[in-house]
Structure 1
């Protein structure tokens, strides 16, 4: 019996063939280097073959959304406020969500019909460390209970209702904490990208989910053994760089570890925290995304699954 799927599957070659001459030119090598994560391997060929067709597809979705907004306003005889097209990007720790988000932000802003593209990460909506410590859940940072979901839902509601200025809390990976006096100001962008491991998750205690506000959603997928290896590689790079900063939260914990000790610490953290979160909370949301990008061991995207309309 034929197995039916809600997704259309594309291999890399078929997806790359969808790009056309109307898509703005790709990035320069210098621009790409500035957008890549610490141990991310993204080439200009990857941008050309994967991200440009995706940019074009999202551009079509944005145009259709804008047209529907105008037609609905005309039918109702109202002048509705402009609302951003919201894209959610989910996936595991260390899978490359941030690089994908920054690439899409840059590429989408090159279309003349939606030049204002903002990016917000859900890290800022984590509870401050003081609260996590008080609740004895510092070792579950990144799990659903470590986020102020109600505040995140209010933020999304304000954005989608067309509020002219909305503020989002900022997070520092250096201090490993929410910055108490710093906020990002979002002022009616054409597109807002919301990136975080939790953006497709559902919580029974809230009547709304973050994903209820999305117009398009993406899940970055990869085999677990590859993600674990990327996490450990990144941990080792941070041990040699950011963790050496005396202001780093991890300076006293990891900066003086040997390579073997750091490898053991990273593997322990992956097994006891990140792998559990992946299986319990992140992977179950994969099929809620409209588009799934599957990475291979070398970070390249070889398969794309687009949900049927």
Structure 2
């Protein structure tokens, strides 16, 4: 087995598997519980997800997650018994991070579908809903930094996760990619979920160290397991530009869409605009805020130029 550990920039933190060796080491013999129609439904724009990739990469990952879930739930039962209090039905929370255009949403949907096939009740919650409304971002002169740390309602997000941890009904705000804004007054209830997948750019961010005696929880403090979807910068740039141009011919055609003005723009101008957004916003966020959190993940899914996972890094310490 061609396992490589401690190489590259990740130091001794991870064992690195090729996709083939990951499937051998952590996979089972059961066929995928999905079919071709499921794969088409789960794919994101420009993401060539295949049934084979689900079998080689995501099914072994779910096998690992199920093992962690069993151990975590057993520990919670034991602690509840030791403290002579009833065990609250707290969900297993998975954090899923990565750059714009890397395929986080597709990965999250695949995990949700596979865990549901295991008989689990799974809620998928994007952190987009916890962004500050555009009106507030404009008032703070932060629209050009949307998606950066500091542009989210962290009090609401931590409150949501606290409710989950305490076994209480939790409500997540809803975000519209058509209007590019939080939908006023609209929330989604997350109740009785055994597993919650929280997907977002900066969910592994921790921020400055706290002073002694100060308690300020970070989002990642609530995770039972975390996944980072990774790719080289040049691949991410191309996927982002391709996705923008694809949306220009589809979703942006809607007159109500926030980016509708780019639908009628000449393709060269639209591509130049997308390039400037990538360079001035998304790449800066990736380098300064997102990529530095990669080493905090339990598993890294490293994609190649073709958008498929080529390596899996499993955290060892």
TM-score between the two structures when normalised by the length of structure 1: 0.95
1:143 aligns with 2:148: yes
1:6-85 matches, cutoff 5 A: 6-17=13-24, 18-21=26-29, 23=30, 25-85=32-92
In the TM superposition, residue 24 of structure 1 has moved relative to its aligned partner by: 6.4
Q: Secondary structure at the match of 1:34?
A: helix
Q: Would you say 1:91 and 2:98 are equivalent positions? A: yes
Deviation at 1:188, TM superposition (A): 2.4
Contact kept in structure 1, 2:203 and 2:219, CA below 8 Å: yes
Gaps of 5+ in 1: none
CA contact (8 A) 1:24 1:111 kept: no
Question: Residue 26 of structure 1 contacts residue 47 of structure 1 at CA under 8 Å; is this kept in 2?
Answer: no
Partner residue, 2:232? 223
Aligned counterpart in structure 2 of residue 176 of structure 1, from 172, 176, 180: 180
CA RMSD of aligned residues (A): 1.4
1:1-309 matches, within 5 Å, as 5-17=12-24, 18-21=26-29, 23=30, 25-112=32-119, 115-163=120-168, 165-204=169-208, 207-252=216-261, 254-308=262-316
Give 1:268 deviation, angstroms. 0.6
Q: Which runs of 4+ in 1 moved over 2 A?
A: 23-26, 203-206
How many residue pairs end up in the alignment? 303
Give me the whole-angstrom Cα distance separating, in 1, the residues matched to 2:71 and 2:138: 46
Residue by residue over 1:151-194, the C-alpha shift from the partner in whole angstroms, topping out at 9 and shown as x without a partner, is 1111111111111x111000000000000121110002100000
Query: What CA distance in whole angstroms lies between the structure 2 residues aligned with 1:36 and 1:126?
Result: 24
For 1:261 and 1:6, locate their aligned partners in 2 and report how far apart those are by CA, in whole Å.
43
TM-score for both structures, normalised by structure 2: 0.93
Please list the CA deviations of residues 83-111 of structure 1 after superposition, one character each: whole Å capped at 9, or x if unmatched: 00000000000000000000000001111
